[in-house]
Amino acid sequence: PSQRQIVVMKDVEGYSHAEVAKAQNISVGASKVRLHRARAALRDLVNRD
């Protein structure tokens, strides 16, 4: 699953971690980790000088 998909599902569409995990066929823990990493990557892109 792409980072974009997880961010969109969780932050834009309002899915729970459990729903994201089920849709992406990953564990809830993996869903949380991937969302955290995706948000960090997005933050880095926004803050790039």
Domain CATH number, residue 16: 1.10.10.10
| Residue 26 burial (C-beta neighbours within 10 Å; 0-12, 13-18, 19+) | middle
Cα atoms in the Cβ-side hemisphere of radius 13 Å centred on 41: 11
- CA-only gyration radius of the chain, Å: 11
Range of the domain at 13: 3-46
What's the number of domains the chain is made of? Answer: 1
pLDDT at 2: 86
Reported pTM: 0.86
Per-residue pLDDT 10s for the chain (49 aa) are: 689 999 999 999 999 999 999 999 999 999 999 999 999 999 999 999 7
Q: Output DSSP code: residue 14.
A: -
- The per-residue pLDDT for 7 is 96
Of 30, 4, 7, 31, the C-alpha closest to 17 is 31
